[in-house]
Amino acid sequence: MSELSQFLKQSRLLSRDENHRLKILKAISTYDEKVDEIKTGQFKDWQQARLTAAEIKEYVLDHLPSLLEEFEEKISSRGVEVLWARDKEEAQKYFVEIATRHQAKKVVKSKSMTTEEIEFNELCHDNGIEVIESDLGELIVQLADEKPYHIVTPAMHKSKAEIGKLFQERLGAPETDNAEQLTMIAREHLRKTYITSDIGVTGANFIVAREGALVLTENEGNGRLTMSCPPIHVAIVGIEKVLPCLSDLSLFLPLLATSGTGQQLTGYNSIIRGPRQNGESDGPEKMYVILLDNGRSKLFKKDRFRSILRCIRCGACLNACPVYRTVGGHTYHTPYQGPIGSVITPQFRGMENWSHLAFASSLCAACSSVCPVNINIHELLLENRWEAHQKSRTGIAWNIGLKFWAWTMSGRLRLNILSRMGRYTYRLLLPFLSHSKRKRIPDIPSKSFKDMWKKYEQQK
């Protein structure tokens, strides 16, 4: 099935699934309440904060090559091996080499979108390496044999009862639908994993150039354990994640926590500068950083698209998007869902199979209004549509149709005639249209807007 028909089929199914919509509505309204409270409580000027963040990220993009080299130089001086991966295949190759070198059989992983991008779990499976997700949400989707539903809240679509049943079947846990008990089951299940794994794999939320550090944001502590217990630490990070220096975190950490989960700061923000150093009592013996390009540098040639590389993956645009809320995360069939996914997926993976995502939008701009780094996401969706339109060979009828439309709309008389004709045709068709099972077609009001306006003007 093509990606487009898959999308249409899934969205038709899920938008009518009341149970699914209620779960998502509940999760997102909880999120909305917390975000509103923290935004006004923590920031004096949220607009200024996001503009400043956008400026810092623009500076970073302007100087990305030298900042990345600065990072590499600093962090390798502490014994870290930095590997540059052009694409998914190269990143996969690096990891298999590392795993072979250290004879790794078991990997514990904290939540990371770059590992979704390179299909890390499938890679490990194909190479006979056991991989265990340690983030609670990711563990749930891994046990259910699913992909993450949301870039921040992977198991948003699962109810307590469903998770209870899953843990009972897959972990042999006692039956429960209590969130606290379920969390404790996961805690017990994973504790031994941290200390028996050969490699800990993480992503990173930020790369700090001047101090040569990675920053990882989380709430559960699974990321900390993943970087503390196994003898090898591998971090897979997108090249756009750079910040100039450590003090920039004092803006970006609160910004990410506010937009991501409605917190002042997330529970743990860890700064990693290397493996265990002389004089330290523990930590991994060896650390690797895989810098992943995978389509990002291609956007540098397109000035209009470059701003999407400011993205800090907070997930706010997903939560705000009426399309995402209706069709759900899995329908997108990509690691990055919602508005951000609809901008970058066609760019990274090609218009041929993915341009439909840019059309799955009402262009309401809710995404742009919540973005903490002030990206005009809806305009980039339009840009994608334009690119898709230019690349498509069909559409002659569409072009003629639009030309006719433009011609009609640009003359008052033509518009009057057409709208009158439209009203009559619509009335004639109404009995047939209203047979639709899922929609009630509203009646046409007796007066057109133009007539009502005329009357209003007269009465004034």
Partner 1 sequence: MNSKNEILSRLRQRGSPAREDNAPQWEDKDLFADFPGPSDNLIDIFSHQLNKLSGDFHLVNNKEEMVKTLKSLLEDSEPEQCKAHKSPLIDELKMLGPEIRDYLTFIDGDEISSEEFERLEVGITGADCLIARTGSILLHTVSAGGRRLSVLPPTHIVIAEEKQIVPSLDEAFNTLDHDQDIWSYATIITGPSRTSDIEKQLVLGAHGPKKLIVLIIKS
Q: How far is the CB of 460 from partner 1 (least distance, A)?
A: 47
Work out whether 76 is an interface residue with partner 1 (CB under 8 A): no
Q: How far is the CB of 360 from partner 1 (least distance, A)?
A: 25
Closest C-alpha to 92, from 112, 119, 128: 119
Binding mask 251-290 for partner 1 (x = CB under 8 A): x-xx------x-xxxxxxxxxxxxxxxxxxxxx-------
* Residues 302-361 contacting partner 1, CB under 8 A: 302-303, 306
Tokens 């996914």 appear where? 341
CB 244 within 8 A of CB 210: yes
DSSP helix/strand/coil, 81: strand
CB 254 within 8 A of CB 45: no
Q: How far is the CB of 278 from partner 1 (least distance, A)?
A: 7
Q: How many residues bind partner 1 (CB under 8 A)?
A: 104
* Residues 151-190 contacting partner 1, CB under 8 A: 153-155, 158-160, 163, 179-180, 182-184, 186-187, 190
Q: How far is the CB of 79 from partner 1 (least distance, A)?
A: 9
Compute the residue count for the chain: 460
Please give the Cα distance from 22 to 159 (Å, whole number).
10
DSSP helix/strand/coil, 262: coil
Sign of the Cα pseudo-torsion (403, 405, 410, 412, in order): positive
Please give the Cα distance from 264 to 284 (Å, whole number).
30
Work out whether 85 is an interface residue with partner 1 (CB under 8 A): yes
* Residues 432-451 contacting partner 1, CB under 8 A: none
* Residues 198-237 contacting partner 1, CB under 8 A: 219-222, 224-225, 227-229
Query: Would you say 195 or 444 has its CB closer to partner 1?
Result: 195
Contacts of 72 (CB under 8 A, 6+ apart): 82, 212
CB 375 within 8 A of CB 311: yes
The token pair that represents 18 in the structure block = 């009341």
Query: Would you say 27 or 124 has its CB closer to partner 1?
Result: 27
Please give the Cα distance from 23 to 158 (Å, whole number).
8
Local structure of residue 157 (DSSP, 8 states) = T
Query: Would you say 7 or 194 has its CB closer to partner 1?
Result: 194
* Residues 34-63 contacting partner 1, CB under 8 A: 40-45, 48-49, 52, 55-56, 58-59, 62-63
* Residues 114-153 contacting partner 1, CB under 8 A: 134-137, 140, 153
Q: How far is the CB of 54 from partner 1 (least distance, A)?
A: 9
Candidates 9-17, 79-87, 312-320, 432-440: pick the segment binding partner 1 (CB under 8 A).
Answer: 79-87
Query: Would you say 122 or 177 has its CB closer to partner 1?
Result: 177
Query: Would you say 147 or 276 has its CB closer to partner 1?
Result: 276
Q: Which amino acid is at 186?
A: A
CB 149 within 8 A of CB 163: no
* Residues 7-36 contacting partner 1, CB under 8 A: 23, 26-27, 30-31
Contacts of 13 (CB under 8 A, 6+ apart): none
Backbone angles phi, psi at 60, to 5 degrees: -60, -45
Work out whether 454 is an interface residue with partner 1 (CB under 8 A): no
Q: Which of 76, 293, 333, 353 binds partner 1 (CB under 8 A)?
A: 293
